[in-house]
Each structure stands twice: as structure tokens, then as C-alpha cells.
């Protein structure tokens, strides 16, 4: 009787010990990867062994619970490390490629050369190289060193064009030129009012007062400074024509009051002749007899 009771007590004690051990093992297994603070101490890196069928794809870290699963895994097409969440670097840290910083909080790395940016904020100290296009409206042609506004093919160093007109500013050796490249009139304005009009045929019209502070030459390339106005041919003053000849006109149409100045005055001759009746060439009388 004593032996039977002892065996039963030993068995009960053993069963209780095994049950306690099993509970402890289950608790460790269940809580090992869910505790808030886990410290992994190992001399080897964390490894994910490729599956015989799927390879390394889909393997990585996962955080389950509280919404969709958060992932940091390896994916294919192309091969890459993929995350479902944002990556937040500490202040002052950068992303590196081949030991070269390419992106930080405030700047792109110096090695970044190409981009397809479609929107940027305020740019400072912008420097470009090669051709430049802005909004398919402003074009810089680096091979011609020319800027076109409204045209891809500027005909000057600076060109402003519409559908039917083009204004250019250009240079040649020792020369600067500006005006219309097309057969268009050119208006010079102030206060949105035309002051000087240059027509396509070359006619120049001054719409307001014209003040010339030095001598003026018309039809001549070289003239002296002893006269304010030098002309190569006849002039008309208040409807009357004035010209210089060595005799009364023998051809041409003249009006009454037109004057011909004697280009070869002689003693006892006349200063000139005046038309007293219009015609071709009209009737003329001498005036201003010169002394002997």
C-alpha cells in the first residue's frame, strides 16, 4: 500500500513538473517575438535563405497587426528591396549611391545630372548648359547663341515673333542692328503712342516734334559744320521749290513762285530766276542783279 502511494505521488509530481515546463516553453515561444524590447546579440548578420521554388523574393521583415501589414521585402522585376512604408532618415543624414551622397534634406548631390522634374519652387543662381526651352514659347539655341521668343528659329541674337511678324536685335562686326525681319511696319512708341513710324517700304514718319542738336545732311554722306542743313538737291519751302542751276530751267514742271539760284554768278548778272507762270518749264524772270 505504501509503495503504491509513493509511486502515485512521484507520478503526480512528475506530471505537474512536465505541465509547468510545457507552459513555460509555450509562453517563451509565444512572447519571444512580441515583446517590446528585444536585443539580438549575434556575430553574424541576419540572413534570409532563398526558397527552392520562389528564390529570395518575398522574404524580408513584416510587421503584422494594427492595419495592413508593414513590409520591408525583396522583390523582382527588377530585383529590388521594397518597403510599404516611408523611410525617415535622421537629420543631417543622406542617401548614398556608390559611396556618393545623392540626396539629403536640403539638396541633391553634385553627381546628379539628369532629371525629369515638372515642378519646382523658387530657383536661385540657376545655371544651364546647352539648348533651353521654356513652356514651348522661349527657345535658346546654343549652337547659334540666339534667343527666340515665340520662335524656334530666331533670325537674330534676339528674336520676338508672332504668326506674321518678327522683331530682331542682331550684331555684325562693328555693327548693331534692330528692326523687323519680316515685311512689317515698325512703330516706335512712348506712352503707348506712336512717335516714329517706319513703314515696310522705308518711309519714316515722325509723329511729334523733331529736335536735331547738330547739323543735318540730306542726300550727302559728308558735309561741313558751317551750315546746319546740307542737301544734295532741290528743297521745297512752304510750297515753293528752291534749286541751284546755271541757267533758266529748260525742262521739268514748275509752279509760280519757284526759285532757281544762279550756280555761276557773274558781275552784272543775276542772283537767280523766279517762275512767274507755272508750266513746263514755265515762264521765268531774273531777280537780284549783281553789280559790275
Q: Look at residue 36 and give its three-state secondary structure.
A: coil
Q: What is the model's pTM?
A: 0.60
Q: Which of 95-99, 122-126, 152-156, 258-262 has the lowest mean pLDDT?
A: 122-126
pLDDT score of 34: 46
CA-CA distance, 263 to 272, in Å (whole number)?
8
Q: Which residues contact 162 (CB under 8 A, 6 or more apart)?
A: 150
pLDDT score of 223: 82
CA-CA distance, 66 to 230, in Å (whole number)?
98
Query: Strands 132-134 and 100-103, how do they pair?
Result: unpaired
Beta carbons within 10 angstroms of residue 95's beta carbon = 12
Averaged pLDDT for residues 113-141:
91
The b/e string for 109-145 (b: 16+ C-beta within 10 A; e otherwise) is: eeeeeeeeeeeeeeeeeeeeeeeeeeeeeebbbeeee
Q: Which of 27-31, 74-78, 102-106, 263-267 has the lowest mean pLDDT?
A: 27-31
Averaged pLDDT for residues 202-219:
92
State the pLDDT confidence band at 41, using cuts at 50, 70 and 90: low
**Within 13 A of 56's CA, how many CA atoms are on the CB side?**
15
pLDDT score of 224: 81
Q: Report pLDDT digits (tens) over 172-186.
A: 999 999 999 999 999
Q: Report pLDDT digits (tens) over 131-175.
A: 999 999 999 999 999 999 999 999 999 999 999 999 999 999 999
Averaged pLDDT for residues 96-106:
93
Amino acid at each position: 500500500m505504501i509503495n503504491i502511494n509513493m509511486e502515485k505521488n512521484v507520478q503526480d509530481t512528475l506530471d505537474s513538473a512536465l505541465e509547468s515546463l510545457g507552459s513555460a516553453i509555450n509562453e517563451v515561444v509565444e512572447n519571444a517575438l512580441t515583446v517590446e524590447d528585444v536585443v539580438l546579440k549575434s556575430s553574424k548578420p541576419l540572413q534570409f535563405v532563398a526558397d527552392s521554388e520562389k528564390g529570395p523574393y518575398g522574404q524580408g521583415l513584416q510587421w503584422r497587426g494594427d492595419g495592413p501589414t508593414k513590409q520591408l521585402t525583396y522583390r523582382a522585376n527588377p530585383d529590388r528591396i521594397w518597403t510599404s512604408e516611408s523611410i525617415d532618415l535622421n537629420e543631417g543624414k543622406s542617401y548614398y549611391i556608390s559611396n556618393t551622397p545623392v540626396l539629403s534634406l536640403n539638396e541633391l548631390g553634385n553627381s546628379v545630372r539628369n532629371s525629369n522634374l515638372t515642378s519646382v519652387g523658387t530657383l536661385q543662381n540657376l545655371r544651364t548648359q546647352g539648348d533651353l526651352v521654356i513652356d514651348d514659347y522661349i527657345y535658346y539655341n546654343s549652337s547659334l547663341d540666339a534667343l527666340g521668343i515665340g520662335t524656334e528659329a530666331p533670325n537674330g541674337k534676339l528674336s520676338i515673333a508672332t504668326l506674321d511678324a518678327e522683331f530682331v536685335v542682331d550684331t555684325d562686326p562693328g555693327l548693331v542692328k534692330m528692326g523687323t525681319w519680316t515685311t512689317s511696319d515698325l512703330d516706335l512708341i512712348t506712352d503707348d503712342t506712336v512717335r516714329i513710324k517706319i513703314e515696310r517700304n522705308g518711309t519714316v514718319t515722325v509723329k511729334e516734334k523733331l529736335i536735331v542738336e547738330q547739323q543735318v545732311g540730306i542726300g550727302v554722306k559728308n558735309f561741313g559744320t558751317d551750315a546746319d542743313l546740307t542737301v544734295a538737291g532741290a528743297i521745297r519751302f512752304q510750297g515753293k521749290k528752291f534749286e541751284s542751276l546755271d541757267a533758266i530751267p529748260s525742262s521739268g514742271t514748275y509752279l509760280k513762285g519757284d526759285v532757281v539760284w544762279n550756280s555761276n554768278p557773274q558781275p552784272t548778272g543775276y542772283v537767280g530766276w523766279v517762275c512767274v507762270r507755272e508750266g513746263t518749264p514755265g515762264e521765268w524772270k531774273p531777280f537780284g542783279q549783281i553789280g559790275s
